Amino acid sequence: MLRKKQHVGNLTYEQKKRICTWKRDTTSLTQGQLAARAKRELAKNKAPAQGIISAIFARKDVYLYAKEEDLQA
């Protein structure tokens, strides 16, 4: 019998900003390592997929330079 995939849940803007900050501060981290850290530190059931991490980095300027009010949306 097939098991239903566990839903990771959407990352908030604040969480995406934290992931971008981790990468900026420690450039040697791979996307897989960042996904594992996100699972551990953001209390997720499952690590975000590598593609999600990649998509976050593609828009890193949006997350790193957004104002706090924008991150709450």
Residue 38 lies in a domain: yes
| Owning domain of residue 41 | 13-67
The per-residue pLDDT for 1 is 58
What integer pLDDT is reported at residue 10 of this predicted model? Answer: 87
pLDDT digits (tens, 9 = 90+) for 62-72: 999 877 776 66
Collapse the DSSP code of 15 into the 3-class scheme (helix H, G, I; strand E, B; otherwise coil) and give the result: helix
| 72 in any annotated domain | no
Percent of the chain's residues with pLDDT above 70: 82
State how far the Cα of 36 lies from the Cα of 27, in Å rounded to an integer.
15
Is residue 35 within 8 Å of residue 50, measured between CB atoms? yes
Number of domains in the chain: 1
